[in-house]
A = this chain, B = another copy of it.
Amino acid sequence: AVGSKVLTTDTMNPSVKKVEYAVRGPIVQRAVEIENELKKGAKKPFSEVIKANIGDAHAMGQQPVTFFRQVLALCSYPELLNSPLFPEDVKSRAGRILQSCGGGSIGAYSASQGIECVRQDVAQYIKQRDGGIPCNPDNIYLSTGASDAIVTILKLLVCGEGRTCTGAMIPIPQYPLYSAALAELGAVQINYYLDEENCWSLNIGELRRALVDARKHCNPRVLCIINPGNPTGQVQSRKCIEDVIRFAAEENLFLMADEVYQDNVYADGCHFHSFKKVLFEMGPQYSNTVELASFHSTSKCYMGECGFRGGYMEVVNMDSDVKAQLTKLVSVRLCPPVPGQALMDLVVNPPKPGEPSHATFMKERTATLRSLAERAKLTEQILNTVPGIHCNPVQGAMYSFPQITIPERAVQEAKEKGQAPDMFYCMKLLDETGICVVPGSGFGQKEGTYHFRMTILPPTDKLKILLQKVKEFHMGFTEQFS
């Protein structure tokens, strides 16, 4: 009818309506409101909002890596190639990237799969990381952050309806990109629960339970792994990865390995093992058959360059006709952002010993990773001093995901407000302290348990104060509702 809207929530795409993304959900909207209130001079028991909801290192004050930014400046404004301000390795690297761009400009489109020399450098990096196991640049696809590539692979895999509809196994707790993408694509989300009692480890029995259950109502085709874990911070053992690969091979599942935190491993005795490496070391029975896509990004690790939206994936054992379809699909969006591709190149091919920028680069990288390890430890320690909070060791990644005890009276009050109890808790924490964290319900958790995700990214001094405030808040909250 004339005058009524074409597009309303009643007439919009119902799959989009089902999408949820807690990391930037209602809690963050409230945080922005409070920030605006503070700007307008409102009186609060705190002077600033601390956004510990998202893994955004630079926003928390981490400084960019000098070498990366120098090269990017020269790529942006090549006149600087003649300036004495920059070391030779910066200049030669910028020159190499520019040479591989159309017309020598990062303003030209690249190949849709990504700039060829960047894909070669990525392949070289993977080969070296994985102890010499070969990597073919044709299997590398650059992407707009890892999210883009993850959604693309899920998109390829989705088909069927009802009992034949593609099911994707995801960890619970999970990073909510997975649930959001599956909702949007109309695929079935199959939850497998990580074992909180055992430091969020992945249990093959639980994988099998979830798969057997799911086979009753859909067609499970893909198994998603996040290692190191987000939001849970565990680092998988080599043994566990072998078990997962064997399981995927037996059950004919496509493996998606989200490895964006591969440099963020802090705990003694923990090491990052790539799925690709373990797969190849298990011998040809596996390395020639198991289909794997693994994902990396410029946004995490020691560089934390989220804003550039750089990333790549490697596809292993992908059917060659499917690869042609994948290449076609990514070509519709023309290409990933070229500055992000340039940055990805620098991440996988940093300064080498003997080059002028090497010492500074190593100093910056080491300082950041050392400090992150310190903050991971600190977070675990302080949170575990609070009665009613239990925090597993933050072995890797950038988050703690403590379990919190919420008194029954608070649970009731939350329910009356139509809120998840941990959302009620986090909203109160935000209102009283200015600290913004994400309720565990946004990631999924065992029925009846409550958590929140908090980044370890605030600078150490600030983090200490923040953890002390969480402690006081939790004790007050418990008292208030007991």
Binding site for B on A (CB under 8 A): 1-9, 11-14, 16-17, 19-21, 23-25, 32, 54, 56-62, 64, 69-70, 72-74, 76-77, 80, 83, 85, 101-103, 105-112, 144-145, 147-148, 155-159, 176-177, 180-181, 184, 221-222, 249-250, 252-254, 289, 291, 303-309, 317-319, 321-322, 325, 328-329, 331-340
7 tightest CB-CB pairs across the interface, nearest first? A59-B102, A307-B338, A73-B77, A58-B105, A24-B331, A59-B108, A72-B76
Contact among B54, B80, B156, B177 for A16, CB-based, below 8 A: B156
Which chain B positions have C-beta within 8 A of A252? 1-2, 4, 6
Which chain B positions have C-beta within 8 A of A13? 155-159
Contact B7 A156 (CB under 8 A): yes
What's the Cα separation between A101 and B340 when bound, in Å?
Answer: 17
What's the Cα separation between A74 and B69 when bound, in Å?
Answer: 10
Which chain B positions have C-beta within 8 A of A74? 73
Known: A76-B76, A77-B70, A337-B309. Contact between A54 and B109, CB under 8 A? yes
Which chain B positions have C-beta within 8 A of A105? 58-59, 64, 307
Contact A5 B319 (CB under 8 A): yes
User: Can you list 25 residue pairs at the A/B interface with Cβ under 8 Å?
Assistant: A5-B319, A6-B221, A6-B253, A7-B156, A7-B157, A9-B322, A11-B221, A14-B159, A20-B328, A24-B112, A32-B111, A54-B109, A57-B107, A61-B103, A69-B77, A70-B77, A73-B80, A83-B85, A107-B303, A107-B306, A145-B333, A147-B332, A155-B184, A184-B329, A307-B338
Contact B59 A69 (CB under 8 A): no
Residue of chain B at shortest CB distance from A4: B252
What's the Cα separation between A377 and B3 when bound, in Å?
Answer: 44
Which chain B positions have C-beta within 8 A of A305? 107
Contact A109 B329 (CB under 8 A): no
The winner among A6, A9, A12, A109 for most chain B CB atoms within 10 A is A6
Residue of chain B at shortest CB distance from A341: B307
Which chain B positions have C-beta within 8 A of A322? 5, 7-9, 12
What's the Cα separation between A332 and B14 when bound, in Å?
Answer: 16
What's the Cα separation between A4 and B333 when bound, in Å?
Answer: 31
Contact A307 B329 (CB under 8 A): no
Contact among B70, B103, B176, B184 for A58, CB-based, below 8 A: B103
Q: How far is the CB of A350 from chain B (nearest CB, A)?
A: 16
Which chain B positions have C-beta within 8 A of A112? 24
Other A-B contacts than A72-B77, A309-B335, 19 sampled, CB-CB below 8 A, are A2-B249, A2-B289, A3-B289, A5-B319, A9-B319, A11-B159, A12-B159, A13-B159, A17-B325, A24-B334, A58-B101, A58-B102, A58-B103, A58-B105, A62-B103, A108-B306, A109-B307, A147-B332, A309-B336
Which chain B positions have C-beta within 8 A of A333? 144-145, 147-148
What's the Cα separation between A409 and B176 when bound, in Å?
Answer: 58
The winner among A4, A59, A107 for most chain B CB atoms within 10 A is A107
The winner among A3, A308, A328 for most chain B CB atoms within 10 A is A328
Contact B334 A337 (CB under 8 A): no
The winner among A7, A12, A16 for most chain B CB atoms within 10 A is A7
Q: How far is the CB of A183 from chain B (nearest CB, A)?
A: 10
Contact B337 A107 (CB under 8 A): no
Which chain B positions have C-beta within 8 A of A332? 19, 21, 147, 176-177, 180-181, 184
Which chain B positions have C-beta within 8 A of A3? 289
Which chain B positions have C-beta within 8 A of A25? 328, 331
Residue of chain B at shortest CB distance from A69: B77
The winner among A3, A8, A103 for most chain B CB atoms within 10 A is A103
Q: How far is the CB of A184 from chain B (nearest CB, A)?
A: 8
